[in-house]
């Protein structure tokens, strides 16, 4: 029987000290999260926002005393910045929308009615701050017969353009633009049109795209076999093509501008806890949350940088935080108001949550470990194994208290004789763009993009800033901070020979890391995550098509559920914001766009992107 001391945990977290908010965090909170009055001025401060969210999420508890106890614990959990829920929870909890989930997947069947009913559903979701994923694989290909009109079908990509235009017209509740991902199977007759649909700069700007590939397809790629392109309407083979040639086209397009990514279907469905309900065909826009049609998920992230003490991860503190965060996310399911009844039914039947981490690069630096070291890979597995194990234990404890998720009896857990759980999945690693900005930590499991950057402030003044841990180290060692900041704005610490060896080793940046090491880090986490992992495989501008090919193959071999790469300078808009190699930030720049990959560092900006800057590297459009 799973035992969790909720009383002890709640008292511990209620007593955690509040974290200081950075100027950037305060700005983003004011622009995106705080309740506003009719004139558009903040009607609450950060403390009131966290208290609003805590009280609302705790309202799922039974009894006044327990609700107050958990409200205090949830407030401490967030205000200390050891954990933050996904953006819609911070935005909407305790407000009229009351839609707290970030991730949705909607079905698209091969009929005009389904296509436009799903578009309507997506519009409702976008209005509440959620992002949507779609598989277009069930749609008949371009040129196929439409019996009702005796005309020809226009194909999946044509409807993606319709969805893209609709998304552009919808403001996400006044907070964010809509974010989508489109998935198409590699054996669909229109796959070549699909992989080329974002070739032009700015095309389908509200979509990420990924090709869904099976193990059979990957084996054909490696053996030199063929793949049959099959019309999903009647299973007729339209064409046979070289799997290796199709693979090369996918890889070439990804090298060109970062898309398409890949979704490994068989690996993803191997962890599907409810296969009797149906297969997984799509994910949320950033790829970390595979979901069934009509399913949604609440995410939250633990700031791992806050758990380093005396040269080690404080596992006791981390364990109690995991337990409380799972209760928070499970409560959020019950108090959330879903845009459509179909979504509510699937969510309540499966109760999926996704607890992950941010601040991974910061934690490694505090521990004196290089991101690309074997020790870092080993620690990744240890930390994520603990988080997922304890998340499962908390879910089992909640099942004893509240009951298992509705589909448990038909789940893989029941078939294996495992104890009942409250949640069909418990862990996910999200990109945490804005959340990491609020918590002043590195994003998700990404490495640092740079150690120094140039900030533009009002009046035209430019200030060089160092990454916090690097600045602390420089002060402690008596290094020339100003001289270092100037050189590090254009160079990695590993390129500055006069820095101490241990500093050059630990302060590694994204482009110092070979693609293979990026993929191995993603795979290390994936081995201990219920859902999936959002990670950008950053490549230097000099990277070759062959390097992209090897990264994509390695991700499949190591058991990743998907992969996204970005090659530096592979998008034209990037050149507009570089000066002497320095990323620049302006406090009043235009919205980066909810579905872009940052052209400076490759971070995925959809769903969590701040309005004025890339949270990973400081890239600004203006």
The conformation of residue 414, written as its DSSP 8-state character, comes to H
Hey, how many other C-beta atoms are within 10 angstroms of the C-beta on 259?
Answer: 23
CA distance 497 to 493: 8
Please name which of 614, 535, 617 lies closest in space to residue 581, comparing C-alpha atoms: 617
Please say if 471 is a catalytic residue. no
Please say if 580 is a catalytic residue. no
How many CA atoms does the CB half-sphere of 271 hold within 13 Å?
A: 23
CA distance 134 to 118: 9
Backbone φ and ψ of 427, nearest 5°: -125, 145
CA distance 600 to 569: 7
Q: Which of 288, 446, 596, 608 is catalytic?
A: 288
The conformation of residue 596, written as its DSSP 8-state character, comes to P
Kindly state the tokens that stand for 439. Answer: 């918590």
Report yes or no: 343 and 296 within 8 Å, Cβ to Cβ: yes
Q: Which of 284, 517, 538, 612 is catalytic?
A: 284
Please say if 606 is a catalytic residue. no
DSSP strand pairing (236-242 vs 145-146): unpaired
CA distance 269 to 409: 18
The conformation of residue 33, written as its DSSP 8-state character, comes to I
Per-residue H/E/C for 165-231? HHHHHCEECCCEECCEEEEEECCCCCHHHHHCCCCCCCCCCCEEEEEEECHHHHHHHHHCCEEEEEE
Please name which of 166, 152, 155, 161 lies closest in space to residue 117, comparing C-alpha atoms: 166
CA distance 275 to 287: 19
Q: 452: helix, coil or strand?
A: strand
Hey, how many other C-beta atoms are within 10 angstroms of the C-beta on 252?
Answer: 14
Kindly state the tokens that stand for 527. Answer: 């081995």
Please name which of 455, 477, 479 lies closest in space to residue 465, comparing C-alpha atoms: 455
List Cα–Cα distances, 368 to 47, 310, 474, 500, in angstroms.
33, 12, 15, 13
Token look-up 């969590």 returns 608
Q: How far is CA 615 from the centre of its chain?
A: 13
Residues 6+ apart with CB under 8 A from 338: 99, 101, 296, 344, 347
CA distance 553 to 535: 16
Q: Evaluate the omega torsion of the peptide bond into residue 260 and state whether it is cis, within 30 degrees of 0.
A: yes
CA distance 617 to 447: 11
Backbone φ and ψ of 509, nearest 5°: -115, 170
Q: Bridge-partner residues for 539, per DSSP?
A: 567
Q: Which of 103, 197, 286, 441 is catalytic?
A: 286
Hey, how many other C-beta atoms are within 10 angstroms of the C-beta on 538?
Answer: 25
Active-site residue list: 284, 286, 288
């Amino acid at each position: 029987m799973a035992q969790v001391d909720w009383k002890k945990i709640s008292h511990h977290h209620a007593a955690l000290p509040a974290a200081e908010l950075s100027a950037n965090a305060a700005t983003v909170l004011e622009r995106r999260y705080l309740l506003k009055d009719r004139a558009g001025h903040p009607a609450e401060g950060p403390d009131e926002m966290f208290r609003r969210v805590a009280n609302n999420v705790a309202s799922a508890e039974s009894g006044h005393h327990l609700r107050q106890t958990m409200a205090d614990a949830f407030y401490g959990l967030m205000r200390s910045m050891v954990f933050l829920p996904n953006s819609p929870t911070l935005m909407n909890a305790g407000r009229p929308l009351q839609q707290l989930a970030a991730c949705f997947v909607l079905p698209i069947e091969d009929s005009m009615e389904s296509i436009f009913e799903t578009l309507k559903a997506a519009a409702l979701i976008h209005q509440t701050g959620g992002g949507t994923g779609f598989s277009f694989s069930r749609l008949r290909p371009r040129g196929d017969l439409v019996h009702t009109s005796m005309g020809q079908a226009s194909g999946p990509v044509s409807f993606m353009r319709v969805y893209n235009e609709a998304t552009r017209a919808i403001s996400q509740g006044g907070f964010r633009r809509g974010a989508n991902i489109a998935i198409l199977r590699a054996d669909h007759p229109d796959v070549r049109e699909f992989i080329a649909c974002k070739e032009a700069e700015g095309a389908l700007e509200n979509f990420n795209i990924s090709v869904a590939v099976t193990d059979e397809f990957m084996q054909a790629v490696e053996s030199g076999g063929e793949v049959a392109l099959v019309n999903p309407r009647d299973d007729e083979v339209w064409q046979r093509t070289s799997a290796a040639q199709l693979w090369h086209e996918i890889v070439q397009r990804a090298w060109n501008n970062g898309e398409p990514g890949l979704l490994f279907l068989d690996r993803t469905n191997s962890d599907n806890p409810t296969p009797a309900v149906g297969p997984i065909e799509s994910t949320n826009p950033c790829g970390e949350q595979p979901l069934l049609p009509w399913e949604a998920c609440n995410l939250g992230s633990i700031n791992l940088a806050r758990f380093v003490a005396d040269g080690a991860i404080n596992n006791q503190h981390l364990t109690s935080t995991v337990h409380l965060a799972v209760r928070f996310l499970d409560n959020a399911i019950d108090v959330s108001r879903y845009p459509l009844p179909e979504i509510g039914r699937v969510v309540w039947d499966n109760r999926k949550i996704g607890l992950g981490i941010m601040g991974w690069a910061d934690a490694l630096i505090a521990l004196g470990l290089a991101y690309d070291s074997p020790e870092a890979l080993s620690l990744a597995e240890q930390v994520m194994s603990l988080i997922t194990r304890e998340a499962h234990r908390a879910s089992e404890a909640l099942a004893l208290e509240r009951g298992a998720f509705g589909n448990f009896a038909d789940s893989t857990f029941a078939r294996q004789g495992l104890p009942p759980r409250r949640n069909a999945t418990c862990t996910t690693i999200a990109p945490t763009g804005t959340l990491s900005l609020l918590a002043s930590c590195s994003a998700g499991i990404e490495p640092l993009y740079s150690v120094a950057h140039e900030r533009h402030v009002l009046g035209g003044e430019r200030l060089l800033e160092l990454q916090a841990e690097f600045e602390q180290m420089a002060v402690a060692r008596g290094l020339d901070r100003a001289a270092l900041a100037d050189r590090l704005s254009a160079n990695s610490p590993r390129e500055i020979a006069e820095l101490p060896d241990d500093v050059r080793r630990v302060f590694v940046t994204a482009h110092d890391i070979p693609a293979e090491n990026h993929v191995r880090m993603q795979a290390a986490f994936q081995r201990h995550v219920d859902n999936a992992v959002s990670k950008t495989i950053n490549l230097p501008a000099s990277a070759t098509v062959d390097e992209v090919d090897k990264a994509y193959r390695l991700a499949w071999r190591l058991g990743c559920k998907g992969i996204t790469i970005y090659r530096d300078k592979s998008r034209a808009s990037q050149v507009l914001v570089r000066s002497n190699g320095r990323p620049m930030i302006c406090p009043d720049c235009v919205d980066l766009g909810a579905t872009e990959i940052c052209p400076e560092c490759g971070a995925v900006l959809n769903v969590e992107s701040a309005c004025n800057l890339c949270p990973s590297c400081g890239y600004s459009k203006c």
